[in-house]
């Protein structure tokens, strides 16, 4: 019987390792399930945030009316109040504020000595 003790102890050792591995796999699986659930929830929230095409058209009309309210000689604050912050700016005595990534090919406002001098609503 004594000759089986080493073999029995080896079997018990490996068996306990397998049990620990299974517990770790279960914990990993639960963690992955929670991550998938969280991601599905975030996707649903983002899908619900997308704007209705009709809303986009209405927003475009609001922006167009803001451009139509511009007047030569307006300062930075007045233009920002109407159009919002630009996406890009070039600084200097002549300053351009670009309202799209297209820069000069898109809508922009041109300032000379900190006063609105010219603008382009649509290319």
| pLDDT of 120 | 92
| pLDDT of 93 | 86
| pLDDT tens-place string over residues 78-109 | 999 999 999 999 998 899 999 988 887 889 99
Domain ranges of the chain: 2-49, 54-120
Architecture of domain 54-120: 2-Layer Sandwich (3.30)
| pLDDT of 20 | 64
Residues of the chain under the 70 pLDDT cut: 1-2, 4-5, 7-10, 12-22, 50-64, 123
| pLDDT of 116 | 97
pTM, two decimal places: 0.48
- The answer to whether 97 touches 82, Cβ cutoff 8 Å, is no
Where do the H-state alpha helices sit in the chain?
5-49, 53-68, 76-83
Report the distance separating Cα 2 and Cα 57, nearest Å.
Answer: 87
| pLDDT of 77 | 96
């Amino acid at each position: 019987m004594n000759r089986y003790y080493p073999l029995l102890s080896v079997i018990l050792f490996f068996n306990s390792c397998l049990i620990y591995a299974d517990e770790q796999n279960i914990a990993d699986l639960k963690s992955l399930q929670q991550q998938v659930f969280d991601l599905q929830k975030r996707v649903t929230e983002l899908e619900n945030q997308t704007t209705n095409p009709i809303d986009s058209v209405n927003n475009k009309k609001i922006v167009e009316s803001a451009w139509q309210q511009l007047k030569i000689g307006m300062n930075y604050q007045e233009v920002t109040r109407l159009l919002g912050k630009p996406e890009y700016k070039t600084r200097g005595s002549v300053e351009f504020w670009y309202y799209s990534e297209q820069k000069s090919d898109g809508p922009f406002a041109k300032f000379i000595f900190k006063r609105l001098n010219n603008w382009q609503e649509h290319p």
